[in-house]
Homo-oligomer: A and B are copies of this chain.
């Protein structure tokens, strides 16, 4: 599908893309670009990439028939800068496609006008970080969202779609702003609740936590730097999601004040039935 796959940021997601691309024969050469030699060495040793570079500018420039896919897998705050740098470096190539795996999409779509860039968001991950956690099957049966605009060439969209589908993903195309609104509720809100729950419990109360609490605070162990950028980037949709959460919570709090057993039971039944259906 591609002569070269250039992965910028070889962590859990970038590493998993590298492993999967090699396993499913998606690129002749997989190139890793990373900030530390240590991470790149792990990626080389684990067979995730074929070549490693600390600087994008050091990656060999495109040849005549090079078909290049660049996937930026850095924290969201660094995506635009890296995409623009890649366009500058590979941009005169006839066959260049660029994407990212960021959890927020509106900003990149606004900042990057080059139509060879289409935003991707594979909804896949784990609490683990780094190339040692990489897994060729990470995207199997997961949803990947593409956020092309009406100006993007259909061929580019189809090629990117086929890339993710070959990695095992289901692919859906939606508007970037809509993506960010939805993910604020389904991903950023749960993360925030996990963090705030962790903050709420005091030190002398912690011995009284069980497996339920442990499950509810697992997300809060995620990288503060990665999540800081996501939350700031998507602050308006996230605030809307938090208001929606609060209005549901208010209903329960009023029922608790009234000891309104029926309403409380109804809320618990509704939540359980949603989970059973899904």
Whether A267 and B232, one on each chain, are in contact in the complex, defined by CB atoms closer than 8 angstroms, is no
Alpha-carbon separation in the docked complex, A241 to B142 (Å): 36
Q: How far is the CA of A145 from the CA of B186 in the complex (A)?
A: 36
Once the chains are docked, how many angstroms separate the CA of A60 from the CA of B73?
A: 69
Known A195-B267, A224-B268: A259·B275 in contact at CB below 8 Å: no
Smallest CB separation, A52 vs chain B (Å): 29
Bound form: Cα–Cα A124–B221 in Å = 23
Residues of chain B with a CB closer than 8 A to A187's CB: 208-210, 212-213
A241 to B208, CA, bound (A): 14
Given known A145-B208, A228-B265, contact A276–B221 (CB-CB < 8 A): yes
A residues bordering B, Cβ < 8 Å? 123-126, 142-143, 145, 172, 182-183, 185-187, 189-202, 205-213, 215-222, 224-225, 227-228, 231-232, 235, 238-239, 241-242, 244-246, 248-249, 252-253, 256-257, 259, 261, 264-265, 267-272, 274-276, 278
Please give me the 5 A-B residue pairs with the lowest Cβ-Cβ distance, nearest first: A224-B268, A198-B271, A190-B216, A220-B271, A228-B265
